[in-house]
Chains A and B, each alone.
Chain A
């Protein structure tokens, strides 16, 4: 019986990722047919006819084509289910603010009842299936290739996602008055939880947590000092997007969160390598630990800063192009679209670099012994 249990156990161990893949595929299929769950009417486009296509230009000599299309489709949910509709849609070929639609797509409608006739305009494209599919693809790849460590990575991301949303709601309840306190405090909770999941509760985790919080805090303190010394010249808070509350604390909260992950990544790497080193060579001195840590950190800091740089700055590309096409100078375009992303990358970069001595110092203090640390200082 014990053998039987063992066999089912190993069978389960071997095949669980594929089970999740199959269940996920069913879920994606469900999302593709979830129209009934929406209260907004949904139209499935059955045929598309192009009515006209005219040249358009503006005062900056940009040229584009304006296309008019007629969409035929059927409503797939709600009271008007099964009714056929004809909708006209006009879009610019560049599709920066307007969209052209294709056969087979589903769109959300704003329906107007006018006596017995109904007419409608399109309010949005239904994107949930594409989103669900990509989530499914990522999770499948993660679990099939990385198995248990993949599951842990996924868990930590989900836990952080839920906490993130709770924090956002809390911020809304307090009208954004204490945004910095909420997200600063939550950064600590985020770091603690993530490290608990990734490392487990032990001395190594506590050291990593200390280095992470310290590194992020130093980055923000240094940034505030530089802001004060340079009077924030060249920091254009008015260029922040989607701002519904005071921009400066919001910007700092964004920067704290943005650097947190990278600083945590780095401290984990450095401290884990140093702990392994200590196991391998138990008589290693504090000074040597510090030196090895600095070398490991030196190798990873460059790539890590670049990770954040591309995340922060690449997403400003669409808006920056819009500014350039509206005949703004390169300098003005940079200031109004990219500068805040660059400031964020630089602050995170400083945090990432200064975390190295911090993590090395903590590790050599904790596992090198006080005496050998004393030798280093002399």
Chain B
């Protein structure tokens, strides 16, 4: 058995042992997300527009992660709508910044990997960079939206008569509880993955100026920042979506 298969099966066993059906769903959503990511990549290789493919993949991935993650139907619906809104805002932000910073493709640090490779590709790597940035934030958006919506749903369950204004304040309070730890999840997730690059910088004695203008580093830091902004934006948007949905529900009664 290969290591990846063994680790995957072990994860399945752990998830089911700890979370039961919910664990199984979480494992399936991970598998599905891998499939979606790989499929998106193959479509890009066949010259479908990377940004368009990413947007469609992104919405499907958000739906799968959110609906397979939560169990309260109203709060998952709200989380899904809010996360799609965040995704669209993020795309609008990412496109001009990536055009500005031009971090697409490979840097001089990558030359070893590129040896013997043809770089005549016919795919706009600027669009690939935009897609990469969008894809890397999907998990963070889904997680934050679920956390806020679930937190608010619980408050609504305990205090069904809470005023809409207090509900909104509660949303920001839940947000302030998750923001510190979520930022660190993102920070360590990204910087842990790029430890080797930082060791390279230190070993070759890059100057501060070289580091702050380096293609790979700037690209990486931009991805962390996009993820952080998406989490920040998720807090008010999910709260407002929840308030709006509650207002609708109360009108009906």
The number of residues on chain B lying at the interface, defined by a beta carbon within 8 Å of a beta carbon of chain A, is 123
B198 and A62 within 8 A (CB): no
Distance between A146 CB and nearest chain B CB, rounded to angstroms:
6
In the complex, what distance in Å separates the CA atom of A321 from the CA atom of B27? 26
Chain A residues with CB under 8 A of B37: 310, 313-314, 317
A311 and B189 within 8 A (CB): yes
Instruction: Choose among B101, B122, B212, B229 the residue with the greatest number of A CB atoms under 10 Å from its CB.
Output: B122
In the complex, what distance in Å separates the CA atom of A182 from the CA atom of B101? 33
**B213: interface (CB < 8 Å):** yes
In the complex, what distance in Å separates the CA atom of A99 from the CA atom of B213? 14
Among the 9-residue stretches B64-72, B162-170, B245-253, the one with 4 or more Cβ atoms under 8 Å from chain A is: B64-72
Distance between A141 CB and nearest chain B CB, rounded to angstroms:
5
B136 and A310 within 8 A (CB): yes
In the complex, what distance in Å separates the CA atom of A106 from the CA atom of B74? 51
Chain A residues with CB under 8 A of B172: 145-146
Known contacts A94-B120, A261-B187; is A226 also within 8 Å of B209 by CB?
no
Chain B residues with CB under 8 A of A265: 181-182, 184-185
Residues 25-64 of chain B, each 1 if its beta carbon lies under 8 Å from chain A, else 0: 1110110011001100110110000000000000000000
Question: SS class of chain B's interface: helix, strand, loop or mixed?
Answer: helix
In the complex, what distance in Å separates the CA atom of A93 from the CA atom of B222? 23
B106 and A97 within 8 A (CB): yes
Known contacts A304-B143, A310-B33; is A126 also within 8 Å of B213 by CB?
yes
Residues 134-165 of chain A, each 1 if its beta carbon lies under 8 Å from chain B, else 0: 11011001100111111011101100110011
In the complex, what distance in Å separates the CA atom of A176 from the CA atom of B200? 11
Closest residue to B182 on the A side, CB-wise?
Answer: A265
In the complex, what distance in Å separates the CA atom of A57 from the CA atom of B119? 10
Chain A residues with CB under 8 A of B227: 311
Known contacts A131-B221, A145-B236, A149-B176; is A313 also within 8 Å of B34 by CB?
yes
B132 and A309 within 8 A (CB): no
B199 and A157 within 8 A (CB): no
A171 and B202 within 8 A (CB): yes
Of A99, A130, A245, A322, which contacts B199 at CB under 8 A? Answer: A245
Closest residue to A338 on the B side, CB-wise?
Answer: B38
In the complex, what distance in Å separates the CA atom of A233 from the CA atom of B11? 18
B197 and A242 within 8 A (CB): yes
In the complex, what distance in Å separates the CA atom of A183 from the CA atom of B196? 12
B15 and A131 within 8 A (CB): no
Distance between B220 CB and nearest chain A CB, rounded to angstroms:
8
Chain A residues with CB under 8 A of B229: 137-138, 141
**A4: interface (CB < 8 Å):** no
Closest residue to B24 on the A side, CB-wise?
Answer: A302
Of B1, B30, B185, which contacts A264 at CB under 8 A? Answer: B185
Closest residue to A194 on the B side, CB-wise?
Answer: B184
Known contacts A233-B2, A301-B15; is A306 also within 8 Å of B139 by CB?
yes
Among the 9-residue stretches A5-13, A15-23, A82-90, A249-257, the one with 4 or more Cβ atoms under 8 Å from chain B is: A249-257
In the complex, what distance in Å separates the CA atom of A245 from the CA atom of B196? 9
In the complex, what distance in Å separates the CA atom of A127 from the CA atom of B142? 30
In the complex, what distance in Å separates the CA atom of A343 from the CA atom of B5? 10
B139 and A311 within 8 A (CB): yes
Chain A residues with CB under 8 A of B27: 302
B118 and A146 within 8 A (CB): no
Question: SS class of chain A's interface: helix, strand, loop or mixed?
Answer: helix
Chain B residues with CB under 8 A of A241: 109-110, 113, 196-197
**A229: interface (CB < 8 Å):** yes
CB interface residues, A 252-308, toward B, < 8 Å: 253-262, 264-265, 268-269, 272, 294, 297-308
**A324: interface (CB < 8 Å):** yes
A150 and B189 within 8 A (CB): no
In the complex, what distance in Å separates the CA atom of A126 from the CA atom of B221? 15
Closest residue to A245 on the B side, CB-wise?
Answer: B199
B1 and A230 within 8 A (CB): yes
Distance between B124 CB and nearest chain A CB, rounded to angstroms:
6
Known contacts A97-B106, A325-B45; is A317 also within 8 Å of B135 by CB?
yes
Known contacts A314-B135, A319-B113, A326-B118; is A261 also within 8 Å of B4 by CB?
no
Closest residue to B105 on the A side, CB-wise?
Answer: A96
In the complex, what distance in Å separates the CA atom of A120 from the CA atom of B199? 31
B193 and A318 within 8 A (CB): no
A346 and B11 within 8 A (CB): yes
In the complex, what distance in Å separates the CA atom of A7 from the CA atom of B222? 39
**A342: interface (CB < 8 Å):** yes
B200 and A141 within 8 A (CB): no
Closest residue to A324 on the B side, CB-wise?
Answer: B45
Chain A residues with CB under 8 A of B1: 230, 233
Distance between A77 CB and nearest chain B CB, rounded to angstroms:
12
In the complex, what distance in Å separates the CA atom of A146 from the CA atom of B179? 8
A299 and B236 within 8 A (CB): no
Residues 102-140 of chain B, each 1 if its beta carbon lies under 8 Å from chain A, else 0: 111110011001100111111111101101100111111
- Spell out B's residues near A (CB within 8 Å): 1-8, 10-11, 14-15, 18-20, 22-23, 25-27, 29-30, 33-34, 37-38, 41-42, 44-45, 65-66, 68-71, 97, 100-106, 109-110, 113-114, 117-126, 128-129, 131-132, 135-140, 142-143, 146-147, 150, 172, 175-203, 209-210, 212-215, 218, 220-223, 225-229, 232-233, 235-236
24 A-B residue pairs with Cβ-Cβ distance under 8 Å, sorted by A, are: A38-B209, A97-B106, A125-B213, A125-B215, A127-B212, A131-B212, A131-B218, A142-B179, A145-B232, A179-B199, A226-B6, A230-B1, A243-B196, A259-B188, A298-B23, A301-B23, A305-B26, A306-B138, A309-B33, A311-B140, A318-B128, A321-B41, A338-B38, A356-B19
Closest 6 CB pairs of A and B: A302-B26, A257-B192, A261-B188, A149-B176, A258-B192, A298-B19
